[in-house]
Chain A
């Protein structure tokens, strides 16, 4: 594998989108939800329906940054005894079919520690992962993860919260790569509480400190929000709970699930066009 080239997937994505005058639409789903087989079909469907990148969770027992929708997705996957290794094997198969789409992991620190930080990042790299965001590792605790990420050639994604201090923004400017996960609001993940847009001041500040391009997440569930986020200067939008809700709604009808996901992703992707 050519590490030099693959480290650049986010950059290639942003450059291609800039050429087309579009922002990125990035759906989030939980790997292994509701099963490994269905999860694979879901990932392929998301990409084929126009997702510019994927943000993917690994199921965890105690997800403190997640609201009820994503917690439930974790529980469905854990009920099927899905392990982090199962998830990475699944990603390997998806990566073979889609060599260019950026793939990010969003997970909790104890899963990384249990596997051994270095080992986990190596395995993730081997599965074709481009970035890792650890929900319960703030910048203050990120150094030992970041060092390993840099060594392995994975982008350590940092979060810019709406209450970010100057100190935090400065660190993001110095340390971020890949993209910056911009929090649309306080609280936990969930479509019930809408993101607050425009986050324009925060976006401008991130640009001033030289942060990696910001993608807005938390509370994004409609094409209108995607449009607003991009208008406010975000390089894209992440939609997690709204995507996972579609899976949860169609657990007993795979065709309907894939169909609904396809329609959702197409509509959200269409809203990323800046020409509208």
Chain B
């Protein structure tokens, strides 16, 4: 049996082949032991501080918001080494890998951000990384493929299925089924089977903890709302975790509405609300009426995933967190605005959160203090954005 609760309400669980249960149990055990080990904590904190650059800044926007009643802060995960929040939990899981005596790391990646984070952590720790990436994504994300290879990771294109992130996850799980003795599966988001959603949340929860301390220092009170984008949901759960027990703080997750939630081209799993099992967890997923998994879509590759972390599904059901969706167009607008008004180029993922926060700011009739988790920087998206907005910006 599990030592930690494997479910969040009805969501989560361990819907994996029997063969993987011992590996997941071993991981849970290692995670729990590491939590009680001051040496582990010390090493993790030192990596976060000296290598990754924590704590990250929190920036009050100067020009972005015109409504004088609203103060909008950005939690600057874009300034973290690697360019996004993902480095946090990857360092934690890499330490767990070593603790379990494993020498290899398996990971999946969509746009390549988790792959890059995994590659950097494995280079640092002397672990052998192999990273599954949909064949289509390998083509679309050539610079990230190069970064991973530069840092010594093996990148394996996946042609099976649709050749995108979900197929890369499938392939990573297949590899793990054969090699769990020496390899750790370093899952990239707060989804998948227990204990991943819990581990990934705990290794990102400093985002919310720092936010709390920083906002208390600057404003002397908690924010009215924290806003984060949700694909699998790792940056959002990292931001939410420390505020879940503060009922005055609204938790708002922003899913990718793509070309609109009424089209088939989106990735808004909670907003569209269909329950099922994918990649080891019972959660909200995108599927047809027979239960075949459907492709998600978003302008932002990091949000392009047809499931969501099970704790988000639970927070949505109990009404503790609100989930909304922002379209490609709204995200691109926010992307442009932040660059133009504040001199910060955000990731397209984070631009979804910002887009919704800007709507909230426009509509606010009372004083409002908002923190947006700026989960990553936008350099990785420039090629893609140039193809969409190049003429408009270049004139």
Interface locus among B127-135, B250-258, B265-273, B289-297: B289-297
7 contacts between A and B (CB under 8 A): A64-B17, A114-B289, A140-B1, A159-B19, A163-B19, A167-B1, A183-B18
Chain B residues within an 8 Å CB radius of A67:
174
Q: Mark B33-50, 1 if CB is under 8 A from A, else 0.
A: 000000000000000000
Query: In the complex, which residues of chain B have a beta carbon less than 8 angstroms from the beta carbon of A110?
Result: 276-278, 285, 287, 291, 293
4 smallest beta-carbon distances between A and B, as pairs: A114-B291, A187-B178, A159-B18, A61-B292
A158 to B18: give the CA distance in the assembly, Å: 9
A220 to chain B, nearest CB (A): 16
CB contact between A141 and one of B13, B278, B290 (< 8 Å): that residue: B13
Contact bitstring B1-32, A, C-beta under 8 A = 1, else 0: 11000100000011111111110000000000
* A140/B14 in contact, CB under 8 A: yes
Chain B positions within 8 Å of A126 at CB level = none
Residues of B within 8 A of A (CB): 1-2, 6, 13-22, 160-161, 166-167, 170, 173-174, 177-180, 275-280, 282, 285, 287, 289-293
A65 to B179, CA, bound (A): 13
Cβ contact of B15, chosen from A63, A66, A137, cutoff 8 A: A137
Q: Would you call the interface of chain B mostly helix, strand, loop, or mixed?
A: mixed
- CA of A64 to CA of B166, assembled, Å: 10
| Complex contacts, A78 vs chain B, CB 8 Å | 292
A64 touches B174 (CB 8 A): yes
How many angstroms from the CA of A115 to the CA of B290 in the assembled complex? 7
Determine the distance from Cα of A168 to Cα of B287 in the docked complex, in whole angstroms: 32
Verify B15–A62 contact, CB threshold 8 A: no
B170–A62 touching, CB < 8 Å? yes
Q: What is the CA–CA distance of A98 and B245 in the complex, to the nearest angstrom? A: 61
Tell me how far the C-beta of A75 lies from the nearest C-beta in chain B, rounded to whole angstroms: 8
CA distance in complex: A164, B21 (Å): 9
A62 in contact with B290 given A136-B15, A187-B178 (CB within 8 Å): no
- If A61-B293, A62-B293 touch, whether A186 touches B276 (CB-CB below 8 Å) is no
**A198 located at the interface, meaning its Cβ lies under 8 Å from any Cβ of chain B in the complex:** no
Residue of A nearest to B181 (CB): A186
A84 interfacial contact with B, CB 8 Å: yes
Q: Assess whether A151 is interfacial by the CB under 8 Å rule.
A: no
Given A71-B160, A163-B22, A188-B177, also A136-B17 (CB < 8 A): yes
Q: Is the CB of B291 within 8 A of A138?
A: no
Q: How far is the CB of A205 from chain B (nearest CB, A)?
A: 15
The verdict on A123 contacting chain B, using a C-beta distance below 8 Å, is no
Contacts of B280 in A (CB 8 A): 136
Residues of B within 8 Å of A83, CB to CB, are: 290
A111 to B277 alpha-carbon distance, docked (Å): 9
Nearest B residue to A59, CB-CB:
B292
A82's nearest neighbour on chain B, judged by CB, is B290
Contact: A115 with B160, CB < 8 Å? no
Q: Indicate whether A113 sits within 8 Å of B277 (C-beta atoms), given known contacts A64-B174, A165-B22, A187-B177.
A: yes
Contact mask A144-173 → B, CB, 8 Å, 1/0?
A: 000000000000001111011101100000
Chain A residues with Cβ under 8 A from B177's Cβ? 64-65, 186-188
Interface hits, A46-67 → B, CB 8 Å: 60-67
Contact A161 B19 (CB under 8 A): yes
Known: A159-B17, A188-B174. 12 other contacts (CB 8 A): A62-B170, A65-B174, A78-B292, A110-B291, A113-B291, A114-B276, A114-B289, A136-B15, A140-B2, A140-B6, A161-B17, A187-B174
Closest CB in chain A relative to B162 CB, distance in Å: 8
CB A79 to nearest CB in B, in angstroms, measures 12
Give, as a whole number of angstroms, the nearest-CB distance from A62 to chain B: 5
Of B15, B20, B161, B170, the contact of A109 (CB 8 Å cutoff) = B15
Task: Name, among B2, B22, B160, the residue most crowded by chain A CB atoms within 10 Å (CB to CB).
Answer: B160
Q: Pick the most buried of A71, A108, A110: most chain B CB atoms within 10 A of its CB.
A: A110
Instruction: State whether B287 touches A114 (Cβ < 8 A).
Output: yes
Chain A nearest Cβ from B322, distance in angstroms = 26
**Given A71-B160, A113-B277, A187-B174, A138:B18 Cβ within 8 A:** yes
Closest to B23 in A: A163
Is A135 positioned at the interface, with any CB of B under 8 Å from its CB?
yes
Given the interface contacts A138-B16, A141-B14, A186-B180, does A111 sit within 8 Å of B161 by beta carbon? Answer: no
Q: With A61-B293, A188-B177 given, is the CB distance from A168 to B18 under 8 Å?
A: yes
The reply to whether A186 and B277 form a contact with Cβ atoms under 8 Å apart is no
Interface members, chain A 98-156 (any B CB < 8 Å)? 108-115, 135-141
Q: Closest A residue to B180 by CB, please name it.
A: A186
B170 x A64 contact (CB < 8 A): yes
